[in-house]
Structure 1
Amino acid sequence: MIPGLPACTRNYTPENLSMDRRFFLGSAVAAAGTPLAGARFPERKGNARLSIGLAAYSFREHFGWMKGEAREPRGREMDMFGFIDFCAEHGCHGAELTSYFFPASVDSGYFNRVKRHAFLRGVDVCGTAIGNDFSMGEGTHLDGEIAAAKTWLKKAALMGAPHVRFFAGTGRGFSAGKDRVAAAVTALRECAACAGELGIFIGIENHGAITADFLLDLVKEVDSPWVGINLDSGNFISDDPYADFARCAPWAVNVQLKVHIRRNEPADLPRLVGLLRQARYQGYVVLEYESGKPSEEIPGYLRTLRRLCG
C-alpha cells in the first residue's frame, strides 16, 4: 500500500451484476444508442476543446525497461524524463507515461520526481496506460490483475495523472462464456471504486478484437462516473472503423490517435478530429505512433494535429 492513498478495498461481487443477452461478442446493442438505466453519459457543455499529447509507447523500442524487465534498447536510449523533454520541445500539452517503461520497483519518490520534472517543463502528465486482462474468468490470475491495476491507479495519483488506460480483455477470452464478462464487469467496478476514491478516470480501450457494441455495453454496465472509453482510432475491427469511432466518441475520456487505421490504411486525421468535434469531446488527443522512426517522423504529425485541433 502506498502511504497517504486510499486502500481501495473490494466492494463488488458477481451477485451485484445484471448480465443478460447484451453480452456476447458480435451482438447488436440491446437498445441501440440508448444507455442502460442509470448509465452515466459524460456531460460536456460548450464546444470541443482538444489538447495535444504524446504516448510514451511511440518510443517503445527506446526504453531500457519493458514490464519490469531490463532490456537493451534499440537506438538511442530514452527514459521518462527524456520523453517528457521530447514532449516539451515539440509543443505537446501532455505526456502519456505508459506503465510498461518504468523501471522495476520504483518508489513514491521516483513518481514525485517525474511529476516535478513535467511541471517544470510545462507538460501535463495526462495519463498512463496498463496492459491488464480481465477476460480470463474468476480466480487467482484475475485477482492478481485487479491488484496490479489498483497499484497503477495509485501510482497515477502520485504523478498527478487524471486518467489510466485499461484493457477489458480479449475477444477470445470473452467468447469462452458469459461468466467471463460478468467477472470482467466485477473487476472493472472494483477498480472504478478505487479510481473514484483517487479522483482518476479509467478509460477502457477498444482493444483485443472486441466490437464497438460490446465496448459500449461494457462501459454502460460498469456504470461509474469515473469510467469511460479510451478511444483508439486504430483498433476497430469492423469494415467501418470511422462509424465505430463516431459512436464511441461521446463516451471518450481519452483519445489515442494513430496515423494508420484498420489494415494499415493511412488514417484520415481531419475526419477523425472532425468526429471528435461533433461529439464535443473536451480532453487530450494523444498521438500513439507505431511506424518508422519516431524521433524523425513524430514532429511532423504533431504539427498536423496542432493545426487540426487548434
Structure 2
Amino acid sequence: MLAAVLAVTALAVPSAGAASADDRRPEQGRYYTGDFKISLNLYSFNVNMQAWLKNRKTAPPIDTLQAIRFAKEAGFDAVDVTAYYIPGFDFYEMPTKPRDEIMDYARQIRSLCEEVDIEISGTGASNDFASADPARRALDLERVKFWIDVAAEMGAPVMRVFSGVVPEDIDHLGWAGVAQQRVVPALQELADYGAARGVDLGLQNHGDMTATAEQTIQIMQWVNRPNIGIIDDTGYFRPFGSTTGLGYNWYGDIAKVLPYTNNFQLKKKPAGAETDELMDLERVFTDLRLSSYRGYIPLELLWVRGEPGYPRDLDEPPFTQIEQFFTQVKNAMHATRTRPFDAVHTALHALRRTGDLQEPAYALLTSTTQQAEHQFGSGHARQSIKSLEDFLSRLDSAASHGQATPNAQQELGRRVTALHDSFVDVFA
C-alpha cells in the first residue's frame, strides 16, 4: 500500500510555494543576541512518570510535582506539563477521574510553579484527527476540549495537538483530502474553543500527516485561525511515509516553520530517537536567532530501550542525563550570542596576528566578509549567501597558495560554513 500512498501524496501535497503564501518572512538583517527561556518537557521523564501513574516497578518513579521541583533546581526557566502526567488522563477515552479532582490537581501544579517561581510553557494531549473512524475523531475532539479547560486552569498558554497518523484510506482521499475533510475542521473547532479560554493551539509536526514543513504549514493555513501556530518538533521532520528522517534536510524544515512557530520541542536527535546522528545545537540556535521567534525552547529527551541511560536501567530517574543535555543546550545558546559576522572578523584578525593568515589573503577575505555583512544588513540574504560561498572558495585558494595555514583554513571554514548553512536554512 505504501507505493500507492506515496504516489497519491506526490500529487496531493502542496508545493513549498503554495505552503508559504502567508506573508510571514524572516527578518533579514537582524540577529537576536539575547537569551531564550529553556523549558523542560516532562515527557523526558515519561518512563518514570508512567511507573508512578500505574504503580509499576519497571523504573524509579517520579510524580509531576517532583519533576517540576527538579526542573527548578536544575535551572530551567519553565516546564511543559504534558497532560499525560495529570492523574485521570487517558489516551483513548475521556478522563478516568472526576472533573473536580483533575482541576484541583491542575491548580496544585499552577500553585507549585508560582511558589518555586518557574513558568509553564505549555501542555499537550494526544489525538488522531486523521482517523477514518468518525467516532474516534469525535471522541478525540471532546477529549482535547476537556484538556484545554485543564490547560486554562493550570495556566498553560499553549495546548499541543497532532494531526494524526496516516490513515488506511489515504490512497482513496489523498493527503489533501484527509487533511481538509478531517484534520482541518477539528483544529478549527479546537482553536475557537481555546480562544474563548485564553489558550492557543499548537500543531506539532510528528512524522505522520505532518511529516514535512510544507504539510504542517499548509494545514495551519487551511485552519486559518489567529491563535494557532506550529510546535516546531526538531526530531520529527522526514519524507512523508518514512519511518525516520535519515538523509532528509531536517534543518531546512526546522527553519522553514519558524515564522509560524508558537512553541518548541528541541530533541537530541534530528532524524528520530532510534537513529544515531546528534542535533547540531549551535546551528539550531543560529537559525533561531536569525528568525523572529522569541518564545520558549522546551527540550525533550526520548529514550530507546537498551541505549545508555535508558530509564529502566537506572537506579533513579534520568536526572543526570537531562542535566547534561540541558548544559549542551545552554552552551549552544551562549556560543551563538555573538553576531556571526563579528565572530568571523575576530577570527580573521586573530589569525593574521598569529601568522596563520598572510596579508593578501587577509585583505581579500575581510573585504568579502564585509560585503556579505552589508548584503545581509541591507536585507539581501540571498546575495549574502553567494558572498559567503565566494569567501570559502577564496579561502581554499589562499590555502593552496600558502597564504593560509591548515589551522586558518579549518577555523575560518568552520565558522563561515556554519553561517552559510544557517542562512540557507532560514532564507533560501
TM-score (norm 2): 0.61
What is the rounded CA distance, in whole Å, between the counterparts of 1:268 and 1:133 in structure 2? 31
Q: Name the residue aligned to 2:346.
A: none
Q: Name the residue aligned to 2:75.
A: 91
C-alpha displacement at 1:180, in angstroms? Answer: 2.5
C-alpha displacement at 1:107, in angstroms? Answer: 2.7
Q: 1:245 aligns with which of 228, 233, 254?
A: 254
Contact 1:166 1:205 survives alignment (8 Å): yes
1:83-122, aligned counterparts within 5 Å?
Answer: 83-104=67-88, 105=97, 106-122=101-117
SS at match of 1:53: strand
Residues 302 and 99 from structure 1, CA distance in 2 versus in 1: closer, same or farther, beyond 3 angstroms? Answer: same
Deviations 1:184-226 (A, max 9, x none): 1000000000111111111111114322211110011111111
Q: Name the residue aligned to 2:292.
A: 280
What is the rounded CA distance, in whole Å, between the counterparts of 1:280 and 1:266 in structure 2? 25
Contact 1:53 1:285 survives alignment (8 Å): yes
RMSD value, Cα: 2.7
Q: Which residues of structure 2 form unaligned runs of 5+?
A: 1-7, 89-96, 240-247, 304-308, 312-317, 335-428
What is the rounded CA distance, in whole Å, between the counterparts of 1:85 and 1:42 in structure 2? 39
Q: Name the residue aligned to 2:206.
A: 207
1:62-73, aligned counterparts within 5 Å?
Answer: 62-64=48-50, 70-72=54-56
Q: Name the residue aligned to 1:17.
A: none
C-alpha displacement at 1:27, in angstroms? Answer: 4.0
What is the rounded CA distance, in whole Å, between the counterparts of 1:159 and 1:261 in structure 2? 31
Aligned partner of 1:207: which letter?
H
Q: Size of the alignment, in residue pairs?
A: 284
C-alpha displacement at 1:50, in angstroms? Answer: 1.6
What is the rounded CA distance, in whole Å, between the counterparts of 2:13 and 2:165 in structure 1? 13
SS at match of 1:260: coil
Q: 1:298 aligns with which of 313, 322, 325?
A: 322
Contact 2:282 2:333 survives alignment (8 Å): no
SS at match of 2:62: coil
Structure with the larger strand share: 1
Q: Name the residue aligned to 1:256.
A: 265
1:157-172, aligned counterparts within 5 Å?
Answer: 157-172=152-167
SS at match of 2:140: helix
Q: 1:51 aligns with which of 34, 37, 41?
A: 37
C-alpha displacement at 1:169, in angstroms? Answer: 1.1
Greater shift, 277-286 or 150-159, is seen at 277-286
What is the rounded CA distance, in whole Å, between the counterparts of 1:28 and 1:42 in structure 2? 17
C-alpha displacement at 1:71, in angstroms? Answer: 4.5
C-alpha displacement at 1:273, in angstroms? Answer: 1.3
Sequence identity (%): 26
Q: Name the residue aligned to 2:20.
A: 33
Q: Name the residue aligned to 1:81.
A: 65
What is the rounded CA distance, in whole Å, between the counterparts of 1:281 and 1:65 in structure 2? 36
Structure with the larger helix share: 2
Residues 43 and 194 from structure 1, CA distance in 2 versus in 1: closer, same or farther, beyond 3 angstroms? Answer: farther
Contact 2:20 2:217 survives alignment (8 Å): no
Larger radius of gyration: 2
Contact 2:51 2:61 survives alignment (8 Å): no
1:83-232, aligned counterparts within 5 Å?
Answer: 83-104=67-88, 105=97, 106-137=101-132, 139-172=134-167, 175-176=170-171, 177=173, 178-181=176-179, 182-209=181-208, 210-232=211-233
TM-score (norm 1): 0.83
Residues 267 and 43 from structure 1, CA distance in 2 versus in 1: closer, same or farther, beyond 3 angstroms? Answer: closer
Deviations 1:29-61 (A, max 9, x none): 4535322xxx8x599999475210011100111
Deviations 1:77-129 (A, max 9, x none): 11110010111011111111111122122432211111101111111121111
Residues 103 and 65 from structure 1, CA distance in 2 versus in 1: closer, same or farther, beyond 3 angstroms? Answer: farther
Contact 2:26 2:292 survives alignment (8 Å): no
Deviations 1:205-257 (A, max 9, x none): 11143222111100111111110100010001141000011101111100110
C-alpha displacement at 1:174, in angstroms? Answer: 7.6
Deviations 1:131-152 (A, max 9, x none): 1110014622111010001111
Q: RCO higher in 1 or 2 (8 Å CA, sep ≥ 6)?
A: 1
SS at match of 1:265: coil
What is the rounded CA distance, in whole Å, between the counterparts of 1:113 and 1:131 in structure 2? 22
What is the rounded CA distance, in whole Å, between the counterparts of 2:102 and 2:218 in structure 1? 37
